[in-house]
A = this chain, B = another copy of it.
Amino acid sequence: MNPFAGGSEPCLAGCTEADLLGRIRRWLGAACPPPPHGIGDDAAIIPANRRSLVLTTDPVIHGRHFDASVTPAQAAAKLLRRNLSDLAAMGARPEAALVSLAAPPQLRLDWLEGFYRALGRECRRWAVDLVGGDLSGTDGFLGAFLTLTGRPAGRRLLTRSGAREGDWIYVTGDLGGSLGGHHLSFKPRLEEGAWLAARRSVHAMLDVSDGLGKDLPALLPAACRAVVDASALPVALAAHRQAARDRRSPLDHAVNDGEDYELLFAVAPGAAARRLESAWAKAFTTRLSRIGRIEAAGRSDPRIVIAGETDGLESALHGYDHFG
């Protein structure tokens, strides 16, 4: 849906801020607690909690993260889920969100209604309180900036650091071709992330959002490289479909496309890894792939080596670069 009024559709230009805020609170519904715990005061108050606080932020921007082919409900779901995926990668559960909207006068009110109603539904679905935000006018730019707070799901949070030489590397789900639809329909791996953080054999974790090739180095300890087995990579059907349309291989898509929103983690090798695999199979239907291993490496070695039949994949492991 095109967010901008072309002719007679009611749009932001006809609203006062107070009117708009009233509508938004109505659209958000039960997702927004009464003030001072929700929208309506200078700041929102979250009751005390003995656990650590986990904070993350990610936007959706028109022309970058969504366009006129996307429904406002899909844009809203993507906004919240991108942030949920970051909490999942820490082993955290969500608590509260603030959303800042920057929008031009020609933004259609029915687009905005669809967006906030869906955001309210998504917040309830994932047990998030929408507690505050901001509305700012722009000359054409449309973006929504969400900040999400969370708390540890269990006793332990899992960071990107902590992987060791010899660890196996695992990834959830499938990789590549996300723009074919996955980027609008993915489910953040909150349950899986909480489960993994509770297992001591899992040493480090992150979410794959810019592509395996770009994100994997963050998992590697100093003086180590990742040796990835090409045949073990869970290449998504969508990556094959994309490859059939362009001149890139399915493997290239799996390694370099962004927006997978899967969990990538390092596990102690041997019996611990085997126990994890069999417990996983009982707990989840989510695909789990052991894609490689962390090995010692010299300074000048590449940080990632793709071993096996690489199907023409060049050494260009770039992922998605926002400004390049």
Contact = CB atoms under 8 A, between A and B. Distances in A.
Interface of A: 12-13, 15-17, 20, 35-36, 40-59, 61, 63-64, 85-87, 89-90, 92, 96, 98, 100, 102, 105, 131-141, 143, 145, 147, 149-150, 157, 159-161, 206-207, 321-324
B59 A102 contact: yes
Contacts of A55: 43-44, 46, 96, 98, 131-132, 147, 149
29 contacts: A16-B321, A17-B323, A36-B90, A36-B159, A41-B159, A41-B160, A43-B54, A43-B56, A43-B86, A45-B54, A45-B159, A47-B53, A48-B49, A48-B52, A55-B96, A55-B131, A55-B132, A55-B147, A58-B100, A59-B102, A59-B134, A59-B136, A61-B136, A61-B138, A102-B143, A135-B323, A138-B143, A140-B141, A145-B145
B42 A89 contact: yes
Contacts of A145: 57, 59, 100, 102, 134, 145
A176 B44 CA distance: 27
Interface centre among A36, A46, A53, A206 (most CB of B within 10 A): A53
Given A98-B55, A159-B36, A138 B137 contact: no
Nearest to A209: B42
A208 to B, nearest CB: 10
A45 to B, nearest CB: 5
B160 A35 contact: yes
Contacts of A57: 98, 100, 132-134, 145, 147
B45 A157 contact: yes
Contacts of A42: 56, 85-87, 89-90, 160, 206-207
A36 to B, nearest CB: 4
Contacts of A36: 90, 157, 159-161
A277 to B, nearest CB: 23
Contact of A53 (B15, B53, B138): B53
A247 B136 CA distance: 28
Contacts of A90: 36, 41-43, 45
A258 to B, nearest CB: 11
Nearest to A44: B55
Contacts of A51: 48
A324 B206 CA distance: 43
A20 to B, nearest CB: 6
Leading 8 A-B pairs by shortest Cβ distance: A141-B141, A43-B56, A147-B147, A46-B53, A42-B89, A145-B145, A42-B86, A36-B159
A219 B219 CA distance: 51
A54 B44 contact: yes
Given A36-B161, A55-B147, A59-B145, 5 more contacts: A42-B87, A44-B55, A57-B100, A139-B141, A141-B143
Contacts of A44: 54-56
A147 B137 CA distance: 18
Contacts of A40: 160
